[in-house]
Chains A and B, each alone.
Chain A
Amino acid sequence: MTAAAPAIAVEGLSKSFGGRTVVDALSLTVPAGKIMGFLGPNGSGKTTTIRLLCGLLTPDSGRGTCLGLDILTQSPEIRRQIGYMTQKFSFYEDLSIVENLDFVSRVFDLADRKRKVAATLERLGLADRRDQLAGQLSGGWKQRLALAACILHEPRLLLLDEPTAGVDPKARREFWEQIHALAADGLTVLVSTHYMDEAERCHEIAYLAYGRLLARGTVAEVIAAAGLTTFTAQDSGTGAMRIADLARALAGLPGLDLVAPFGSALHVGGGDAALLRHSLAPFLANPDFVWREDAPTLEDVFIHLMGRSTDNFAGGAR
């Protein structure tokens, strides 16, 4: 494998449970050394995809490689070289931090085991709490322990499944600093998340909905590819109509794919610029509001994509 070879390259990966397709002909390439954000609504198949990558699930069809190893036939070798952090905390709550790490280090038969455990504790700031039971840690510390256990054996690829769900903002930021530090050391990271700010911290993002990959690229690329036009309406404070009334009036008009209140403002947008302008025309003239055309955010794009794929999904399956 050369340096330029992708860390993950899968093609046409599909998986269904009881006749319901959860991952649908997914093709994805993750370049080595990059942080790839994996986004999508709940139930869109992120966890399932990650499990397919590390051989915890067998795909119904499709093929691909992880670190140059075949995901269908070489999953034991893949598992030795990746760190998988599960969505639900999956270390032992009745073991202390250091006991958990000792267990992992023994399973991997790490050379210089003690020193590596100590270094990892130090690196993630867990040294002071090494003897605390994992079950007594708060969410943020638990996630640090999980990350520590995942990087102990010096994997080349990290698969992190919603590592910061339910973690406070400060712990989240620190966690991301760790992830960036690891990427700087040359690790490839695939991290699923629901947070937009986290998506923007990734080198690239992939957006999944209903098992299908709907967008991929840098944040700017994904936003540009969506071709969204958006406006923000601010209440001018003069007329009788309020923002809530405007939202009600706009709902369901042709061309308006998203209508979302943000504090005292209303954010609207659509994929078809001409149709959007046509529907908005009467309101743009309304002096009760101050209108401004602006750049769509990543969140706009995702909501827009999700709305579109629901239609496809409802029309296609079942």
Chain B
Amino acid sequence: MTIRFGASAHRLWAMILKEFIQMRRDRLTFAMMVGIPLIQLILFGFAINSDPRHLPMAVLDSDRGPFGRALVASMQTSRYFDLVRFVASEDEADALLAEGKVQFVVSIPVDFSRRVARGERPALLVEADATDPAATLGALGALETMARTALDRDLTGSLAGLKASAPPFELRIHRRYNQEADTQYNVVPGLMGVVLTMTLVIMTALAVTRERERGTMENLLVMPLRPIEVMLGKIAPYVVVGYIQVAVIVITARLVFAVPIVGSLWLLTLTSVVFIAANLAIGFTFSTVAKNQTQAMQLSFFFFLPSILLSGFMFPFRGMPLWAQYLGEILPLTHFLRVVRGIMLKGNGPGEIAAEVAALAVILLVVSVVAVRRYRQTLD
């Protein structure tokens, strides 16, 4: 008999089975689980693919040599860049960038042409306003391919040997305002965290309030179920839902939008469970606070908003005021974004993401304790 001690497997199993059957019968929820990630991804996916052209550019030409001019000319012919003006100083360039008048500043260093001719591969600095990474990265991608061939026409005679082997100069790209957003695909892994946060919190927040509203809670309470069993029973089926969503997103991202997955999918799968569970526990806590389903929805949205705004999904995390960063640190999405971006885009291994996963685990633990303590075993 396990009246007093811990969770018992058969009672937990009873809850899980019941939840699964109910979930299967609830077509709308089922459609929501697969539909929401797909719709979101496709909407954002088009934003990624929009590949904007004619982005304003300023040029700081300290060389005034032929190769610099040739380079700027071929940048314009690519139609990605529109030369707005030549600037005389770095300060002037910075100001233009800060005001958003230009998206790029190309700095051609002193002696650029001469050093190219000598085969010294001088550095060409391109500063990009990466606030909206999707907007700039098409252009930067084009620039990198261009770097190999831009000077081909001018490299004639004795210089012909510099062609093709390697770019005749080194392209150095500085992203301003958004150092973390180092790839155009940043948004896809981010979206995974956002979709999971939104759907999972709402689903569990509703799961318990629904029992209360339909009057089935009284029965659940009078049966020998422990709070931890009810909670785990309600959460477990949605872990599966969370994984379905992860799979939908990863597969669509890979097949439709060709987002590269650099790191290990296994590691991603393993770490996702902590994040999924944390969100479900938060939803469960909401459902112990909310009196009805409307309140549960409101609480979920109230949580969703800062998650989107302060996690680094919408705005670069390090660009936020310090208080907002502190607030962001207690949101599971913040940590998951670092994990998922790290794994998918930078190829991070277990060591590099351990701290973030630990933070998620702490959030999960604290929220679970609150949830179980808040769960009332009486109707008082």
A110 CA / B3 CA spacing, docked (Å): 14
A107 in contact (CB, < 8 A): yes
Cross-chain contact B380 with A57 (CB below 8 angstroms): yes
Interface on chain A toward B: helix, strand, loop, or mixed SS?
loop
Cross-chain contact B223 with A56 (CB below 8 angstroms): no
Residues of chain B in range 210-227 having any CB-CB distance to chain A below 8 Å? 214-219, 221-225
Cross-chain contact B11 with A109 (CB below 8 angstroms): yes
Which of B21-29, B139-147, B149-157, B172-180 makes up part of the contact surface?
B21-29
Cross-chain contact A56 with B215 (CB below 8 angstroms): no
Cross-chain contact B11 with A90 (CB below 8 angstroms): no
Identify the closest chain A residue to B22 (Cβ). A94
Identify the closest chain A residue to B216 (Cβ). A90
A94 CA / B3 CA spacing, docked (Å): 29
Which of A77-85, A196-204, A211-219, A249-257 makes up part of the contact surface?
A77-85
Count of chain A residues near B, Cβ 8 A: 28
A103 CA / B225 CA spacing, docked (Å): 12
Q: How far is the CB of B8 from chain A (nearest CB, A)?
A: 7
Cross-chain contact B224 with A80 (CB below 8 angstroms): yes
Q: How far is the CB of A150 from chain B (nearest CB, A)?
A: 9
Contact of A56 with B221 at beta-carbon distance under 8 Å, contacts A86-B215, A99-B21 already known = yes
Q: How far is the CB of A279 from chain B (nearest CB, A)?
A: 47
Count of chain B residues near A, Cβ 8 A: 28
A289 in contact (CB, < 8 A): no
B326 in contact (CB, < 8 A): no
Residues of chain B in range 10-69 having any CB-CB distance to chain A below 8 Å? 10-11, 13-15, 17-18, 21-22, 25-26
List A contacts of B379 (CB < 8 A): 51, 56-57
Cross-chain contact A108 with B224 (CB below 8 angstroms): yes
Cross-chain contact A54 with B222 (CB below 8 angstroms): yes
Cross-chain contact B225 with A107 (CB below 8 angstroms): yes
The contact of B25 among A84, A94, A104, A106, by CB within 8 Å, is A94
A93 in contact (CB, < 8 A): yes
Identify the closest chain A residue to B2 (Cβ). A109
Cross-chain contact A76 with B224 (CB below 8 angstroms): yes
Q: How far is the CB of B181 from chain A (nearest CB, A)?
A: 45
Identify the closest chain A residue to B221 (Cβ). A56
A56 CA / B221 CA spacing, docked (Å): 7
Contact of A95 with B216 at beta-carbon distance under 8 Å, contacts A54-B222, A79-B222, A107-B11 already known = no
Interface string of A201-233 (1 = CB under 8 A from B): 000000000000000000000000000000000
Cross-chain contact A108 with B218 (CB below 8 angstroms): no
List B contacts of A86 (CB < 8 A): 215, 218-219
Cross-chain contact A104 with B10 (CB below 8 angstroms): no
Cross-chain contact B216 with A91 (CB below 8 angstroms): yes
B158 in contact (CB, < 8 A): no
Interface string of A264-278 (1 = CB under 8 A from B): 000000000000000
Q: How far is the CB of A286 from chain B (nearest CB, A)?
A: 54
A29 in contact (CB, < 8 A): no
Identify the closest chain B residue to A56 (Cβ). B379
A262 in contact (CB, < 8 A): no
How many Cβ-Cβ contacts under 8 Å join chain A to chain B? 73
A266 CA / B22 CA spacing, docked (Å): 55
List B contacts of A55 (CB < 8 A): 378
A55 CA / B377 CA spacing, docked (Å): 9
Query: Of A77, A79, A89, which is in contact with the most chain B CB atoms at under 10 Å from its CB?
Result: A79
List A contacts of B214 (CB < 8 A): 90, 93
A106 CA / B380 CA spacing, docked (Å): 27
Cross-chain contact B3 with A77 (CB below 8 angstroms): yes
A88 in contact (CB, < 8 A): yes
A58 in contact (CB, < 8 A): yes
Q: How far is the CB of B242 from chain A (nearest CB, A)?
A: 22
The contact of B14 among A90, A94, A103, by CB within 8 Å, is A103
A58 CA / B3 CA spacing, docked (Å): 20
A93 CA / B211 CA spacing, docked (Å): 11
List B contacts of A94 (CB < 8 A): 21-22, 25-26
Cross-chain contact A80 with B3 (CB below 8 angstroms): yes
Contact of A91 with B224 at beta-carbon distance under 8 Å, contacts A56-B379, A106-B10 already known = no
A239 CA / B221 CA spacing, docked (Å): 63
List B contacts of A95 (CB < 8 A): 18, 21-22
Q: How far is the CB of B182 from chain A (nearest CB, A)?
A: 48
A159 CA / B3 CA spacing, docked (Å): 21
Cross-chain contact B10 with A109 (CB below 8 angstroms): yes
Q: How far is the CB of B202 from chain A (nearest CB, A)?
A: 19
A195 in contact (CB, < 8 A): no
Residues of chain A in range 95-152 having any CB-CB distance to chain B below 8 Å? 95, 99, 102-104, 106-109
A92 in contact (CB, < 8 A): yes
List A contacts of B215 (CB < 8 A): 86, 88-90
Q: How far is the CB of A114 from chain B (nearest CB, A)?
A: 14
A23 CA / B282 CA spacing, docked (Å): 37
Q: How far is the CB of A112 from chain B (nearest CB, A)?
A: 14
A57 CA / B376 CA spacing, docked (Å): 11
Contact of A106 with B222 at beta-carbon distance under 8 Å, contacts A57-B378, A94-B25 already known = no
List A contacts of B378 (CB < 8 A): 55-58
List B contacts of A54 (CB < 8 A): 222
Identify the closest chain A residue to B24 (Cβ). A94
Contact of A56 with B222 at beta-carbon distance under 8 Å, contacts A92-B216, A95-B18, A95-B22 already known = yes
A90 CA / B379 CA spacing, docked (Å): 14
A80 CA / B4 CA spacing, docked (Å): 12
Q: How far is the CB of A93 from chain B (nearest CB, A)?
A: 7
List B contacts of A80 (CB < 8 A): 3, 224
A89 CA / B216 CA spacing, docked (Å): 8
Cross-chain contact A106 with B14 (CB below 8 angstroms): yes
A91 CA / B17 CA spacing, docked (Å): 15
List B contacts of A90 (CB < 8 A): 214-219
The contact of A56 among B10, B17, B18, B218, by CB within 8 Å, is B218
List A contacts of B225 (CB < 8 A): 107
B interface residues (Cβ-Cβ under 8 A, vs A):
3-4, 8, 10-11, 13-15, 17-18, 21-22, 25-26, 214-219, 221-225, 378-380
9 intermolecular pairs with C-beta atoms under 8 Å apart:
A86-B218, A90-B217, A92-B18, A92-B216, A94-B21, A99-B21, A106-B10, A107-B15, A108-B223
Beyond the given A56-B222, A57-B379, please list 7 additional residue pairs across the A-B interface where CB-CB is below 8 A.
A51-B379, A77-B3, A79-B223, A88-B218, A92-B22, A92-B216, A106-B11
